Amino acid sequence: MHLQESGEMYLETILILSKKKSNVRAIDICEHMGYSKPSVSRALGLLKQGGYVSADKDGYLSLTDVGLETAEKILARHKVITEYLIKLGVSAETASNDACKIEHVISDESFNAIKENL
């Protein structure tokens, strides 16, 4: 299953939330992303089907190995691109917002070049 940008955002959000608290539930994602429960439920269902996320009997979410790998890649891209844009003189808020868009479409080659020149 090829992930769309939105799927990558959900994985990144689960990773970020799991670093802040030991148990992540769908409602935490709703609150963090500002999405409705039905939207988050649908997205999580697709991510579960794709093998990126699992949930236990109490509804606590965890990333599978492939989900964790994908989330870490996206989060790393976000951090590096944000840092690079700030270094170029972009405000922190704008840099983070722009990095959030760029992280999903940038090629590995371009990302690695940015990372090496940071």
| Residue 108 belongs to domain spanning | 73-116
Residue 1 has what pLDDT? Answer: 60
Residues 13 and 60 in one domain: yes
pLDDT reported for residue 118: 84
Residue 66 is predicted with a pLDDT of 96
pLDDT at 25: 96
44: domain CATH number is 1.10.10.10
Structural domain total, the chain:
2
- Range scoring the smallest mean pLDDT among 4-8, 9-13, 56-60: 4-8
Kindly tell me the burial class for residue 57, based on how many C-beta atoms sit within 10 Å of its own C-beta (0-12, 13-18, 19 or more): exposed
pLDDT per position as a tens digit, 30-65: 999 999 999 999 999 999 999 999 999 999 999 999
Indicate whether 42 and 59 sit together in one domain: yes
**d(C-alpha 113, C-alpha 82), whole Å:** 14
Structure confidence by residue, pLDDT tens digits, 87-114: 999 999 999 999 999 998 999 999 999 9
For residues 115 and 80, is the Cβ–Cβ distance under 8 A?
Answer: yes
Strand locations in the chain (E): 53-55, 61-63
Based on the fold, state whether residues 18 and 57 are members of the same structural domain.
Answer: yes
Predicted TM-score (pTM) above 0.85:
yes
Q: Count of CB atoms within 10 A of residue 15's CB?
A: 18
Question: How crowded is the C-beta side of 32, counted as CA atoms within 13 Å?
Answer: 19
Mark whether 61 and 17 lie in a shared domain: yes
| Same domain, residue pair 23 and 51 | yes
Give pLDDT, residue 22: 87
User: Is residue 5 pLDDT above 90, yes or no?
Assistant: no
